């Protein structure tokens, strides 16, 4: 596993961290695969009831690293097969890992979320963020279709009006807008850009207070 994505187990909580700050936490196809693998591994840990996904640095994730599309097949006639086996399969794999994750999934947005990474977090059960957070899914401006099942998940979590702004207009959705429509549960106003450790600490305090051992873990999973 690469250092760009890592997992730490803390009793009933598993923390997945994206740390590729030089690339603003953009992920390659292989790194999205690793993220999906970690989520499925966590699903097998009976002692874990909560998964927290967060990032290091100023950005949560700048989406897909462009290097995922750098490889080309030797025979141009096999382009469709090549992309089906690589990009499409990878996209389906990470999306499936998110929408089938059995644990309580909490995303802690330490900064902006862009592209596929932004689409995937719509499957979270709770989302916390810092004031500098924004959501940007520029698929239409890049000549792409929406990824990560965003055309469905965004409508459910953002509402049809904001979902259309995000997906069709490629509009940047601010933290305040995300809070107003219920996409995020809370903005931690006391956290500045790059204060990821402080932010994660506050999120863990929130989780302990709201989802601590006073609640029955197995009940949480069954309710979800």
pLDDT digits (tens, 9 = 90+) for 128-161: 999 999 999 999 998 888 999 999 999 999 999 9
CATH for 140: 3.90.226.10
Indicate the average pLDDT of the chain.
Answer: 93
Domain assignment present for residue 52? The answer is yes
Residue 46 inside a domain? The answer is yes
Look at the chain and count its residues: 224
197 tagged catalytic: no
**Confidence at residue 55, expressed as pLDDT on a 0 to 100 scale:** 99
Instruction: Exactly one of 8, 31, 34, 147 is catalytic; name it.
Output: 147
pLDDT at 78: 74
Beta carbons of 87 and 72 less than 8 angstroms apart: no
Domain count, the chain: 1
pLDDT tops 90 at residue 9: yes
Instruction: Please indicate, yes or no, if residue 108 is contained in any of the structural domains.
Output: yes
Q: What is the pLDDT of residues 180-210, one digit of tens each?
A: 999 999 999 999 999 999 999 999 999 999 9
Residue 74 lies in a domain: no
Q: What is the DSSP string of 170-220?
A: ---EEHHHHHHTTSSSEE-TT--TT-HHHHHHHHHHHHHHHHSTTS-HHHH
73 domain residue, yes or no: no
Range of the domain at 136: 5-68+79-223
pLDDT at position 145: 87
Could you report the per-residue pLDDT of 44-65, keeping only the tens digit for each? 999 999 999 999 999 999 999 8
Q: Which pLDDT band holds residue 67 (cuts at 50, 70, 90)?
A: low
């Amino acid at each position: 596993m690469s250092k760009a994505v890592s997992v730490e187990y803390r009793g009933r909580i598993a923390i997945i961290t994206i740390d590729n700050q030089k690339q603003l936490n953009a992920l390659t196809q292989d790194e999205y695969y690793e993220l999906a693998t970690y989520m499925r591994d966590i699903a097998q840990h009976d002692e874990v009831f909560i998964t927290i996904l967060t990032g290091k640095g100023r950005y949560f994730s700048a989406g897909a690293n462009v290097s995922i599309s750098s490889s080309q097949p030797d025979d141009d006639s096999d382009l469709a097969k090549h992309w089906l086996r690589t990009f499409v399969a990878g996209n389906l794999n990470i999306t499936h890992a998110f929408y089938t994750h059995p644990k309580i999934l909490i995303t802690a947005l330490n900064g902006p979320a862009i592209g596929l990474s932004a689409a995937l977090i719509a499957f979270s059960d709770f989302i916390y963020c810092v004031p500098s957070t924004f959501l940007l899914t520029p698929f239409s401006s890049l000549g792409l279709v929406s990824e990560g099942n965003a055309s469905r998940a965004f409508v459910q979590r953002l509402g049809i009006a904001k979902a259309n702004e995000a997906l069709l207009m490629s509009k940047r959705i601010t933290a305040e807008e995300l809070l107003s429509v219920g996409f995020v549960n809370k903005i931690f106003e006391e956290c500045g850009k790059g204060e990821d450790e402080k932010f994660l600490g506050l999120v863990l305090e929130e989780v302990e207070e709201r989802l601590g051992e006073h609640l029955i873990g197995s009940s949480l999973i069954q309710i979800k």
